[in-house]
Amino acid sequence: MIEKLNKTFCALPGVGSKTAQRFVYHLLERDREGGFELAKALVDAMEHVKHCSSCRTLSEKNICNICANDVRDSSQLCIVETPTDIHAIEQSGVYKGKYFVLSGYLSPIDGIGAAELGLDELEQKLRDLKVEEIILATNATVEGEVTAHYISNMAKQFDVQITRIAHGIPIGGELEYADINTIAHALSGRKNYD
């Protein structure tokens, strides 16, 4: 039973066998009540959390709070890879539009194509709604760039402005520690200094 619990924790990203073992022994030796709470919370989440029928993020409701919010600007649609990307953008407090979650990126080698990312749903959304701007916020990886390019080509037929989030040197970062690709992105994405 302990080994099965170890393997279960190892299924989480970034959790290796040593970390899993520490989790298991901590719960069994020092925090059984916490273990029961964790088990109950996991069961509740697995039973009640689903995908928003509009943007595909994780939600306890059929329509998530962001999609249900009429104050949000529905003419802007930010395309992200994961629900955690929404959380990161929302923490900035700057973006007031709506989202579409891909739940991944194009990767033919892994069998992930346009259908698996819901790009047919995205295309239908562009047909049906008055979207004026698509903001591509996929990661700055090869797969993220390929995915952004694919979506950009698909969206061109809908007469929408297509923008890409900037990538570059983070605030507080130092050039000497940035890699070549980050510097190249920062230079190519430069804008006027006012």
Fold of 71-164: Dna Topoisomerase Vi A Subunit; Chain: A, domain 2 (3.40.1360)
pLDDT for res 193: 63
Rounded Cα gap, residues 36 and 42, in angstroms: 10
Contact between residue 106 and residue 114 where contact means Cβ atoms under 8 Å apart: yes
Contact between residue 16 and residue 10 where contact means Cβ atoms under 8 Å apart: yes
Rounded Cα gap, residues 177 and 64, in angstroms: 39
Going from N- to C-terminal start, the domains of the chain cover 2-48, 71-164
Q: What is the pTM of this model?
A: 0.83
Residue 54's SS3 state is: coil
- List the 161-164 sheet strands across, edge first: 97-101, 73-80, 133-136, 161-164
Q: pLDDT (tens digit, 9 = 90+) per residue, 141-191?
A: 889 999 999 999 999 999 999 999 887 777 777 777 777 887 887 777 776
pLDDT for res 187: 76
Retrieve residue 59's tokens: 């939600």
Rounded Cα gap, residues 123 and 151, in angstroms: 9
CATH of 2-48, one of 1.10.260.30, 2.102.10.10, 1.10.8.420, 3.40.50.12280: 1.10.8.420
- Residue 177 per-residue DSSP state: G
Q: Count of CB atoms within 10 A of residue 55's CB?
A: 24
pLDDT for res 167: 79
Whether the domain at 2-48 and the domain at 71-164 fall into the same CATH topology: no
Nearest to 79 by CA among 89, 71, 70: 89
